[in-house]
């Protein structure tokens, strides 16, 4: 895409807590860093980045956020920060969430400091408990967790997720919006990452649908785990991880920006 930097470009980023910036000040989340990098890449650059990351949501809800954002925010770019726990439970089902887009619980939007909350989530337990459970899950990555990530990304189990991502891409294309997926690696053994083949499989599958994929693993593998996570008991990304992801995305969105070496 050839950018006319005299025209303001709007970028919307969707995803889960990795995108929201769990545990970080807003300024250190990768959408905020990306906005600063893009606007500093040229005296004429004018970019606006909206962060629609929501902690604890899965692909079916991310899909709803994407369609709502395309309709209401009219972005030039839509980026999905994909994390490996985004797929729903491994049930081979047909997508059936389209009809929920206009339900009342998805009829509002709140913007605060360029973090955007769209709609709501029906919860069977208090939000704080969800947050604590999610943090605990990320703090105890083990062989069983790696096996679970592999299982959820087997072709027959990942089909539901694949279909929804394909539908997001089609909806974006229908609004002349460029869609891309950024693969955000689990912070676990970065020097010998055990899920490289899962990333490769996602890249291959989405590329077959002509969906652009930016795998952030090659940019992050130079770091030790301890240099990337918030805390030994909370494996959410820290500011170094987020800055690295932002630089990777910046080079893809605006080739005029200084590229990040892998």
pLDDT of residue 233: 80
Higher per-residue confidence, 106 vs 57:
57
pLDDT tens across 108-132, in order? 455 566 565 555 444 454 555 555 5
Range in 97-111, 126-140, 198-212, 245-259 with the lowest mean pLDDT: 97-111
pLDDT of residue 223: 96
pLDDT of residue 161: 96
pLDDT tens across 219-253, in order? 999 999 999 999 888 889 999 999 999 999 998 99
Is 139 a residue whose pLDDT tops 60?
no
pLDDT of residue 40: 87
Superfamily (CATH H level) for 9-253: SGNH hydrolase (3.40.50.1110)
Residues written for the chain: 262
């Amino acid at each position: 895409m050839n950018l006319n930097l005299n025209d303001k470009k709007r970028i919307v980023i969707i995803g889960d807590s990795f995108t929201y910036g769990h545990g970080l000040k807003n300024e250190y989340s990768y959408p905020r860093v990306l906005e600063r990098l893009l606007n500093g890449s040229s005296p004429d650059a004018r970019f606006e980045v909206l962060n629609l990351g929501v902690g604890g949501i899965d692909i079916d809800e991310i899909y709803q956020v994407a369609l709502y954002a395309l309709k209401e925010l009219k972005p030039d770019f839509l980026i999905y920060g994909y994390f490996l726990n985004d797929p729903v439970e491994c049930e081979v089902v047909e997508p059936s969430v389209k009809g929920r887009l206009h339900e009342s619980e998805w009829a509002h939007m709140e913007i605060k400091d360029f973090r955007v909350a769209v709609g709501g989530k029906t919860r069977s337990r208090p939000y704080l408990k969800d947050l604590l459970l999610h943090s605990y899950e990320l703090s105890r990555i083990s062989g069983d967790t790696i096996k679970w990530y592999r299982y959820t990304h087997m072709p027959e189990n990942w089909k539901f997720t694949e279909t929804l991502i394909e539908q997001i891409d089609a909806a974006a294309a229908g609004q002349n919006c460029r869609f891309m997926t950024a693969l955000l690696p689990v912070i676990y053994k970065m020097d010998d990452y055990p899920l490289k083949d899962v990333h490769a499989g996602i890249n291959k599958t989405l590329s077959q649908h002509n969906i652009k994929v930016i795998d952030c693993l090659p940019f992050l593998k130079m770091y030790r785990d301890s240099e990337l996570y918030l805390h030994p008991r909370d494996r959410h990304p820290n500011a170094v991880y987020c800055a690295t992801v932002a630089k990777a995305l910046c080079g893809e969105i605006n080739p005029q920006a200084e590229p990040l070496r892998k």
